[in-house]
Amino acid sequence: MADRWITDRAPSKRWPHYTRANAGEVLSVSASPLSQQFCWENGILLGWRDGYVRGGNYTLDEFTDGEPEVCGFFAGYFYINLANVRMQAVRSPLLTVEQLDLAFFGDHPEVPPYEAHPLDERPEMAEGVLAHLGWVMTNTSIPEVDAEKVMTIALRQARPDLSTLSDAGLLTRARMFQPLLRKLFDSHTPPSSDSAIAPGILGAVCAALGEPETAMKLIAGIGDVDSAEPSYRMWDLSRSVNASSDVSKEFNAGVAGLLGRLQASSSADAKKFVADFAQFIVEFGSRGPNEWEISADTWETKPEYALAVIDRIRLQSDAESPKIRNARKAEERKALTEDIRAKVKPLGEELAGQLEGALVASSQMAIRERTKTNIIRALHEVRMAFRELGRRRAAEGSLKDPHHVFALLDSELDQFLFEGASMQDTLAARHAQWQELQLLEPPFFIKNGVVPPLSEYKKKGQSNATKAGVGDVVQGVPGCTGQYVGRARVILDPTEPGDLEPGDVLIAPNTDPAWTPLFMSCGAVVVNVGAAISHAIIVSRELGLPCVVSATDATVRIPDGALIEVNGDTGAVTILEVPA
């Protein structure tokens, strides 16, 4: 294998530090050449830059043309440009670099220190930054984002029968989404950045009160989180399974072949479940593991993924309904908010004003999840167009495998339409090389623009971490408060939940929305990576689950089946008992 991948981007000289923090939740795998170039470089990244400029922390002339330095792709792995994102703190009068780093990394020991650059300070931008912060701390919704939700839902409902489109028609349909991806990510970028404001300010306010652990409790159960919505619908589907002996019988027979058995059943309950599940797929079929990668399967392309999760959820008791959990957390937050208000009031109007502004700003986390969901719907339409193109080209023999279509570069698409057969061997070889990249463990940080050659990457699963024993503590960062004792279930793939039972503690490498429904089958969550604005925390707060993130090597150190105590207040995960 060569030391550089075909789509590797050169690291920025101006902003040379990169991180997989948060990026690993978005793209946990090495991106396919087509996904990286077609969707990201010629759509998403342009919108990312546009949103940064619109948010007031950057000017357009700071970015190079063609490849905005907002992120990096190395060995196909997606990285956020850490040095670049830090400008939001450097240029903000209300946020420090330390607070921003804490929101992204927790207390990760390898975070490269901030080193000032002569172009970092931009005092002439302060007025615009303050104006934007003022807006964030006084508004709880963005009508444009809500309209984009309606629009992207309509796109799915209006999808034509792709099998009737010509090859050129499929490519035309895919290309019409590139400017939309740019626009949707433009909408996503400000609330994504702004999501760090509330945790940062609340952390400072609560520290001033001598209660730093309270900050995270003030942003629990905020409600209206779109990435949690499929979980609520899956819960309802799981209850319909439990209410029917016919449907339960088919689930008891196993997930393999389940949908076919239900479709063939004459039971009225089975027919209703099939209809309800089909509607669920229409609404949420864009979701799935690695949903930002268009070559990846989703709940629509592989319904078994969703059925496997529903199979686990159905084991949970009615009392553990996510609505009940969320309501409980929301009430706790409401009572705690009043308590903190009373404690802050004697300390002066300025601190009280910061508290109120931060409470309003916490809504940006829900807005962020909505904008992400909107983007995923658009990405899915691109996925479905290229899947159909790959399917038919493989059927006619000009591709060795339908999946090889994702090995194309954006610049090769027109050639592929007319000379596809001549590219067959090239795409097969490139696809095989891309699959080799999936075996590599990308470094968590790229520092000072030094990207290691592929020959120096470690293989996944080669961690030096050792299993923890009784009494050992795996230390992470508090995500959602509360303490819980349960059996650890180490799950590396949300499509294979294995023996996860109600009350177990989910131990995961990282999480995206495809993991969210599994949260309803457990009593607590522990994740290898993540920080204050990571997906695992936002959803855990919605469902009222104790959560610990940034627990390095938790999936290796915590034995599967061990009895553990999860402390969401301190971030400590203590091993109480290990299986014989």
* Element housing 547 (H / E): strand 547-549
Query: Residue 309: which of 330, 284, 327, 292 has the closest Cα?
Result: 284
Task: Summarize pLDDT for 397-426 with one digit per residue, the tens.
Answer: 999 999 999 999 999 999 999 999 999 999
pLDDT at 533: 66
From 98-102, 251-255, 297-301, the region with the lowest mean pLDDT? 98-102
* Element housing 18 (H / E): strand 18-19
Yes or no: say if 139 and 361 are a contact pair by the CB < 8 Å rule: no
Residue 353 has pLDDT above 70, yes or no: yes
Yes or no: say if 576 and 563 are a contact pair by the CB < 8 Å rule: yes
* CATH 3.50.30.10 applies to domain 473-577: yes
Using only the alpha carbons of the chain, give its radius of gyration.
24
pLDDT at 293: 97
User: Cα angle at 355 between 353 and 359, to 5 degrees?
Assistant: 120
Q: d(Cα 495, Cα 498) in Å, to the nearest integer?
A: 9
Adjacent-strand bridge partners of 522? 504
Yes or no: say if 320 and 266 are a contact pair by the CB < 8 Å rule: no
Q: d(Cα 199, Cα 251) in Å, to the nearest integer?
A: 42
Mean pLDDT of 537-551: 83
From 45-59, 109-123, 319-333, the region with the lowest mean pLDDT? 319-333
Question: What pLDDT band is residue 532 in, cutting at 50, 70 and 90?
Answer: low
Query: Residue 335: which of 189, 218, 504 has the closest Cα?
Result: 218
Q: d(Cα 128, Cα 121) in Å, to the nearest integer?
A: 14
Domain boundaries, the chain: 1-136+422-460, 143-176+217-396, 473-577
Q: d(Cα 479, Cα 540) in Å, to the nearest integer?
A: 8
- Residues of the chain with pLDDT > 90, as a percent, come to 68
Question: Over 66-85, what HEC string results?
Answer: CCCCCEEEECCEEEEEHHHH
Yes or no: say if 171 and 179 are a contact pair by the CB < 8 Å rule: no
Mean pLDDT of 235-254: 97
Question: What pLDDT band is residue 107 in, cutting at 50, 70 and 90?
Answer: low
At 527, is the secondary structure helix, strand, or coil? Answer: strand
Amino acid identity, residue 501?
E
Task: Summarize pLDDT for 259-272 with one digit per residue, the tens.
Answer: 999 999 999 999 99
Q: d(Cα 393, Cα 481) in Å, to the nearest integer?
A: 52
What is the DSSP-derived secondary structure letter of residue 549?
Answer: E
pLDDT at 173: 98
pLDDT at 427: 98
Cα dihedral 447/449/450/451 (nearest 10) = 100
Task: Summarize pLDDT for 90-101 with one digit per residue, the tens.
Answer: 998 877 888 788
Average pLDDT, the chain: 91
Highest mean pLDDT among 96-100, 226-230, 425-429: 425-429
Longest dimension (CA), the chain: 76
pLDDT at 531: 66
Residue 530 has pLDDT above 80, yes or no: no
Residue 464 has pLDDT above 80, yes or no: no
Q: d(Cα 257, Cα 324) in Å, to the nearest integer?
A: 33
pLDDT at 1: 61
Q: How many CB atoms lie within 10 A of CB 413?
A: 18
pLDDT at 222: 73
Yes or no: say if 545 and 519 are a contact pair by the CB < 8 Å rule: yes
Q: d(Cα 284, Cα 440) in Å, to the nearest integer?
A: 31
Task: Summarize pLDDT for 16-41 with one digit per residue, the tens.
Answer: 999 988 888 889 899 999 999 999 99
Question: What pLDDT band is residue 106 in, cutting at 50, 70 and 90?
Answer: low
Yes or no: say if 78 and 31 are a contact pair by the CB < 8 Å rule: yes
Amino acid identity, residue 529?
V
From 56-65, 233-242, 350-359, 559-568, the region with the lowest mean pLDDT? 56-65
